[in-house]
Amino acid sequence: MIKAPPWGRNMAVRTKLVAGNWKMNGLRADGSALARALTERWTAARSERPGCQPLLCPPSTLLAMVRDILAGSGIALGGQDCHPAPKGAFTGDVSPEMLADAGCSHVILGHSERRHGHGETDAEVREKVTGAWRAGLVAVVCVGETLAQRRAESANTVVAAQITGSIPDGATAANLVVAYEPVWAIGSGLTATLEDIAAMHADIRSRVAAGTRILYGGSVNPQNAAGILGLAEVDGALVGGASLDADSFWSIARCCP
Ligand code: PEP
């Protein structure tokens, strides 16, 4: 069992978490160049480091390589999904224990690309979270409404149901991060307004353990990051497309106050 990361323990100060979700992108050459560029920036910045904890979530094929590049840097490593079981006849799946063994401290679960692209249900996400905790991983559970649901003014109801359905009993600020990602904002170039982000984060905060980090995700980029990360209700960002470019990801990280 791996130990809880140090930034997960001090709940009085919620260091912002800036997570890069590389999705199904990156061959060894691109992945190593990106991880090296970020490690060099993070290491060189030292006294002027952004006030955040960076987390990189590469595809499973790159985990071991990226782990070796990040070693000792303080940049954390995460998986993008996992099977609930520790091992077994589940061709193509990766277990939470395998992610922990590969050096991960976190795993993204219930991303909308899995909920909507793979029909993953709240109950399935919940089982995966239980598996992640068994392996000592912090679960980064994604929630968010579709455009139709927002237009129907049911965004809060939808997100509340996802939280209830996807997060098992036993969630704490140390084992859970929630990522609010409006489905319509992911990869679309659209972002929720700062008012809507703040309101949704406040609603989510009322439903999770005190001190739980709540990230915003959905087309975060160097231009909009300062506004989003400047909100007191926002404890970091889950970044997709912009995390594939070292300058962009670094610019976003530097927006952490
Ligand atoms: C994501 O992958 O969670 C995401 C928010 O992607 P993007 O930043 O590209 O919208």
pLDDT in tens, 188-217: 999 899 999 999 999 999 999 999 999 999
248 CA distance to ligand 1 middle (Å): 13
Check residue 48 and give its pLDDT. 75
pLDDT band at 12 (very low <50, low <70, confident <90, very high): low
Give CA separation, 165 vs 98, 123, 137, in Å: 25, 6, 19
Check residue 178 and give its pLDDT. 98
Q: Ligand 1 pocket test: pick from 115, 181, 252 the residue with the most ligand atoms within 8 Å of its Cβ.
A: 181
* pTM recorded for the entire structure: 0.94
C-alpha 228: how far from its chain's center?
A: 15
Average pLDDT over residues 70-93: 97
Residue type, 85: A
The three-state secondary structure class of 78 is strand
Rounded to whole angstroms, how far apart are CA atoms 142 and 212? 13
Asked if residue 90 has pLDDT above 80, the reply is: yes
Q: What is the pLDDT of residues 118-168, one digit of tens each?
A: 999 999 999 999 999 999 999 999 999 999 999 999 999 999 999 999 999
In ligand 1, which atom is closest to the CA atom of 23? 2
pLDDT band at 47 (very low <50, low <70, confident <90, very high): confident
Asked if residue 2 has pLDDT above 50, the reply is: no
Q: Which residue has the tokens 């979270």?
A: 129
